[in-house]
Amino acid sequence: MSKRVLVSGGAGFIGSHVTVELIEAGYDVVVADDFSNSDRTCYDGVRKITGREDIPLVEMDFCDLEATRKLFSDYAIDAVIHFAAFKAVGESVAEPVKYYSNNLTSFLNVIQAGRAAGCKNILFSSSATVYGEPDTVPVTEKTPRKPATSPYGNTKQMCEDILRDSVLAYKGLRGIALRYFNPIGAHPSALIGELPRGVPNNLVPFITQTAIGKRECLSIFGDDYPTPDGTCLRDYIDIVDLAKAHVYAVRRMLDGRMEEDYEIFNVGTGRPVSVLELVNAFEKVNNLKLNYKFAPRRPGDVTAIWADPTLANEKLGWKAERTVEQTLASAWAWEKHLAGK
C-alpha cells in the first residue's frame, strides 16, 4: 500500500510541482489550500500532467485548528509537507502581525493535529533567508543563522525552531527542514508554474511579464554591489529539481533512514549567478530583447548568497540537474501558455 503525503499549500507554485513529483514517485497525495495566494490553475495543471483526476483537494485554512484536525482524521496521513504560509518579504515588513499570526499558527496546528492523528513525519519548507547576510559563501547547514531581515524571514527561523523543539520533546516525531535558495522556472510541460498575484515579488515572473508586454520595464535593484557586475549574486534552482528534493526527503523519513530525528538540508545548485547574468541568459535562450533599467537597491536584499549543497547530495542522494538555460526556457513557455500564445 502506497504512503500518503499531505501537501499544505499544494495549489501554489512550489506545492504544485512537489505534488507532481510525489505522484510520479508512487505516493498518494492530498492537496490542501485556502487559495488566498493561488487559484485552481496549478491544481488543474497537476491533474493534466499526472493524468490523475482523483487527487483529493481540500479547501481549508490551516490557522483553523478544527479544520486541520478534521483533515488529519479524514485521511490517514503518513507525512506532511508544509508550504501554507504568506511569503512576500515587503508585505511582511508592512504587516508583521499578519505574517506572525498566519505562518506560526498554521504550522503549530499542523504539528498538533498531525501528532494527535499519528502522523510522525513533518517536512518544513524553509528558506535561505534564515542565513541573512552571511559572513562567508557558499553557506553550509552549519553556517550561523543571522537575525532575519524581515518578519517573513523571522517566521522561517521560528518555524525551524518550533520543529526542532517539537522533535526533541515528542518521542517518535521526525522533522526535516529544507532551506531553499531561489526557486525559478516552470514545469517543462508549461502546465504549471509561478502565478504571482498583482506585482511579482520574484525576479523571473517580472522578467517574463516584461517580455510578454504585461509590464513596461524590468527594474534591476542595485548595480553598485561589491560583485563582478555590481548586481546581487544568487543561487537559482530549477523548480522541478527543487520539487524532487522533497521526494528524496520524504523517502528518507518514511524509510527510517534519518540519522537524527531533526535534519536540515540546503537545496541549491552551489553556483552563483548574478541578476544581470540571469537577465542576459533569458534574452539569449529565448531570442528576446528585454526593456530593463537599473534602480536603487531594495532594503533587505542580501549582496551574495549561494548554497553548498554537499549534504543534500550525499545524504539525500539528490542533485540539481537542470541548467539555467533550460529553466528560463520553461519559464517563458509557461508565461506564453498563460497568455494563450
Indicate the SS3 state at residue 121.
strand
Return the percent helix, strand and coil in the chain, to nearest 5.
40, 20, 40
What do you get for the CA distance between the two ends of the chain, in Å?
42
Q: Is 236 in the active site?
A: no
Tell me if 79 sits within 8 A of 8, measured CB to CB.
no
Helix ranges (DSSP H) in 170-202:
none
CA angle 17, 161, 94 (to 5 degrees): 70
Question: Which element (helix H / strand E) includes 285?
Answer: helix 275-286
d(Cα 94, Cα 151) in Å, to the nearest integer? 9
Tell me if 66 sits within 8 A of 72, measured CB to CB.
no
Catalytic residue among 152, 180, 225, 248: 152
Strands 273-274, 233-234: pairing kind: antiparallel
Q: Is the peptide bond before 299 cis (omega within 30 degrees of 0)?
A: no
- Rounded CA Rg of the chain: 19
d(Cα 238, Cα 37) in Å, to the nearest integer? 21
Q: Which residues are catalytic?
A: 152
